Amino acid sequence: MPDPSERRHAPATLRNRDAILDALRRVLPERGTVLEIASGSGQHAAYFSKALPYIRWQPSDVDRAALRSIRAWSDEQTSSDVRSSSDTLIEPLLLDATSNTWPISNADAVVCINMIHIAPWAACEGLFRGAQRILPRSAPLILYGPFKIDGRHTASSNEEFDQFLRGRDEAWGVRDLGAVTEVAESCAFRLDEQVSMPANNFTVIYRRH
């Protein structure tokens, strides 16, 4: 059984999960499998799978410690809610977005929250390449996080955050939405919607065409 002490806690999850959920309800299919890339602590996966009971939520991460945390959050949810089921929150996958092979052959949507600014640019490119392989036409790929718009930060706090990230790793940083969209278009995705969110973030919806 997963060890409760393995559960990681991301404070931002409690602040942003309801706003993200509102956006997801509008664009996710009513049924099917949603692949979450870079699930991190697993708190979003546990919360969204409970709130969207007709969807099979497939978490994933490249970090094995994150996979243990996801399992621990899943176990905590199942223990506290008799309605929870392994049918809605699936065993997490070890998945490297930059890889040319993913351990899943198809999904009905892809969700990626707060990854591309804390990963090398290759992770953004790999995300769209992988999603192109597994998503059907018109299926959504949903990003959430801070973005620059037309090369400019949308808030001074985002600029400070960008500098902080680049100080930790020069390959990280807040991405320009135009550059992300260029990658998306090269992988047969079109920008469908850009939604302003609390704390100077965006939910960005691309669709496979």
3-state secondary structure of 111: strand
Tokens found for residue 75: 């176990």
Domain boundaries, given as residue ranges, for the chain = 4-208
The confidence band for 7, taking pLDDT boundaries of 50, 70 and 90, is: confident
Domain 4-208 indexed as CATH 1.20.950.20:
no
Give me 47's structure tokens: 């919360």
Measured distance CA(157)–CA(202) in Å, rounded: 14
Indicate left, alpha or beta for 122 from its phi (over 0: left) and psi (-120 to 50: alpha).
Answer: alpha
pLDDT digits (tens, 9 = 90+) for 23-45: 999 999 999 999 999 999 999 99
| Residue in this structure with the two tokens 């070890």, named with its chain if needed | 94
Model confidence at 8, pLDDT cuts 50, 70, 90, reads confident
- Looking at residue 3, its pLDDT comes to 60
**How confident is the model at residue 9, as a pLDDT?**
78
Q: Which of 190, 195, 73 is nearest to 141 (CA)?
A: 190
| Contact yes or no for 175/148 (Cβ under 8 A) | yes
CA–CA gap between residue 200 and residue 70 (Å, rounded): 27
If one compares 85 and 21, the residue with the highest pLDDT of the two is 21
Q: Please write the tens of the pLDDT for every residue from 138-160.
A: 999 999 999 999 999 999 999 99
Q: Are 60 and 39 in contact (CB under 8 A)?
A: yes
What whole-number distance in Å separates Cα of residue 55 and Cα of residue 89?
9
Residue written as token pair 């600029």: 159
Please give the residue that has the higher pLDDT: either 6 or 92: 92
**Kind and range of the H or E run holding 99:** none
Q: What are the pLDDT digits (tens) for 193-204?
A: 999 999 999 999
The pTM assigned to this predicted structure is 0.93
Mean pLDDT of 83-100: 85
